[in-house]
Amino acid sequence: MNLNGNTILVTGGATGIGLAVARHFYENGSTVILCGRRKDALIQAQKQYPRMIVHQCDVSKAPERVALRDFIRNDFPAMNILINNAGIQRRIHIAEPDSWSDTQSEIATNLEAPIHLAQLFLPHLMQRENPAIINVTSGLSFSPLATVPVYCATKAALHSFTMSLRHQLAKTAVKVVELVPPAVNTDLGGPGLHTFGVDVNEFADSVMKRIAAGELEVGFGLSEGTRLASRPELEVIFKRMNG
């Protein structure tokens, strides 16, 4: 994949992995549009990278996803890459009382949005040159961490969807890429909860080199091992993670 000459939309792109990945496209001369819910986070990202375009949008809400497609089609018709990166992670115990609307929102953000956005943008992407969809899943797609059960289920489903999408689009120009992060030091789940993770720029530098070289499923460190593990190896990984 060429990192230059694209127009890319990154959901949840104002922070963390989305911003670190977006930077590689930006520094190679691509036009970058970031979307997210928090205006202050979007403005902060734009201060860092002044040519980036920012757009407030909550991808957990279907009407906002449709409005996002319309905005891009009208204002950035050259858009050729969709990066489904927005995600939230909640630590919950299924047996304890919890707000169903919060759980629904986690499913909507992590799973419904990438599926719906793919549907909404594919007719547009099919008419562009070098089109691609990059879905951000997780090492937890392959072996769950039981303290974040809904998150892991959404990421496993997104991995599955990404495989089917790639298969369905194999005869088209649309490349379907899966980015499989390990624990990365971002604010995922809340500030301070992922400080044990790898450095976000170290992660992005490695995976973007491989995506640029044409790889379609890319992990880093522990997630590279997990995505390639056999079923018996996954059982060992599951026990180690949840022990």
Task: Report the residue number, 18 or 144, with the smaller CB distance to ligand NAP.
Answer: 18
217: enclosing H helix or E strand: strand 217-219
- Out of 23, 26, 36, 169, the only residue in the binding site for ligand NAP (CB under 6 A) is 36
Rounded distance, CA 225 to CA 59, Å? Answer: 31
Q: Does 138 bind ligand NAP (CB under 6 A)?
A: yes
Query: Per this entry, what is the length of the chain?
Result: 243
155-188 burial string, b = 16+ CB within 10 Å, else e? bbbbbebbeebbeebeeeebbbbbbbbbbbbbeb
Residue 139's Cβ-count burial label (10 Å; 0-12, 13-18, 19+) is: buried
Q: Does 109 bind ligand NAP (CB under 6 A)?
A: yes
Q: Is 26 a catalytic residue?
A: no
Q: Does 183 bind ligand NAP (CB under 6 A)?
A: yes
Scanning the structure block, which residue is given the tokens 């997210």?
Answer: 36
Q: Does 136 bind ligand NAP (CB under 6 A)?
A: yes
Question: Do residues 110 and 88 make contact, with C-beta atoms less than 8 angstroms apart?
Answer: yes
Taking CA atoms, 221 is separated from 147, 176, 231, in Å, by: 22, 22, 19
We find the least distance from the C-beta atom of residue 233 to ligand NAP, in angstroms, to be: 19
- Out of 11, 31, 80, 143, the only residue in the binding site for ligand NAP (CB under 6 A) is 11
Q: Does 41 bind ligand NAP (CB under 6 A)?
A: yes
Say which DSSP state 200 is in: H
Tokens representing 3?
């990192």
Q: Which long-range contacts (CB under 8 A, 24 or more apart) does 237-242 make?
A: 237/143, 238/143, 238/144, 241/143, 241/145, 242/145, 242/146
Q: Does 188 bind ligand NAP (CB under 6 A)?
A: yes
Q: Does 88 bind ligand NAP (CB under 6 A)?
A: yes
* Contact stretch for ligand NAP (CB under 6 A) within 57-65, 123-131, 142-150, 212-220: 57-65
Task: Report the residue number, 38 or 170, with the smaller CB distance to ligand NAP.
Answer: 38
At residue 128, what is the residue type?
R
Q: Does 102 bind ligand NAP (CB under 6 A)?
A: no
Q: Does 18 bind ligand NAP (CB under 6 A)?
A: yes
- Out of 2, 27, 38, 91, the only residue in the binding site for ligand NAP (CB under 6 A) is 38
Please work out the total of residues on this chain that contact ligand NAP, with binding judged by CB under 6 A: 31
Q: Does 16 bind ligand NAP (CB under 6 A)?
A: yes
Residues taking part in catalysis: 151
Q: Residues in the site for ligand NAP, rule: CB under 6 A?
A: 11-12, 14-18, 36-38, 41, 57-60, 85-89, 109, 136, 138, 181, 183-184, 186-188, 194, 197
